[in-house]
Amino acid sequence: IEKYLGRKKYEADMANEKDDIGIVRGLAWTAVGGTTLQIEVNTMPGKGVLKLTGQLGDVMKESAHIALSFVRSIVADYGVDKKFFEENDIHIHVPEGAVPKDGPSAGITMATAILSAVAKIPVKCSVAMTGEINLRGNVMPIGGLKEKLLAAKNAGIKMVLALKR
């Protein structure tokens, strides 16, 4: 096809090539369809500061705070000292910083990325997820699932985690 039509103007977001710590693929809905959304979390020595970057809207910022609170409540189950959060900063970044992002459905993705980074557990690169979470970690329904599933398929994702209504 490239021979006749030329190179693609837009490349679909592809799944990461390897399992990684602190990097999780989420799914998002936009006015033009679904897309994948990478959530990256890094930890570093500090004083317990949460830094958010990637042009996140207010609702997405709240999702990050909820995700962090939930992870803090369960982190002992993963062998992490609760003092970790007093002695380290957490940075959550959603790439493509020029593109504004908002909505609650990245909550479970953020929680997974935070837990992965804090507990040093790699996340499978073939998995994507979507869902709002509450402070107890319950996943709530989201919209645009059909579009999100199509985006996952196009990105080479093998498994999607989402709440069935």
As a whole number of angstroms, the distance between CA 165 and CA 151 comes to: 20
Do 114 and 68 meet the contact criterion of CB atoms below 8 Å apart?
Answer: yes
Annotated catalytic residue: which of 63, 101, 105, 116? Answer: 105
What is the pLDDT, as a whole number, of residue 56?
96
What is the pLDDT, as a whole number, of residue 114?
99
Could you read off the pLDDT of 24-76 as tens digits, one per residue?
Answer: 999 999 888 899 999 999 999 999 999 999 999 999 999 999 999 999 999 99
pLDDT at 82 over 60: yes
What is the pLDDT, as a whole number, of residue 13?
63
Annotated catalytic residue: which of 63, 101, 116, 148? Answer: 148
What is the pLDDT, as a whole number, of residue 61?
98
- Domain carrying residue 142: 2-161
Beta strands in the chain (DSSP E): 20-21, 23-30, 33-45, 50-53, 88-93, 122-123, 127-129, 132-133, 139-140, 159-161
pLDDT at 12 over 70: no
What is the pLDDT, as a whole number, of residue 65?
98
Both tokens of residue 20? 């990684």
Number of domains, the chain: 1
pTM, to two decimals: 0.90
In CATH, what number is assigned to the domain containing residue 37?
A: 3.30.230.10
Q: What is the mean pLDDT of the chain?
A: 92
105 catalytically annotated: yes
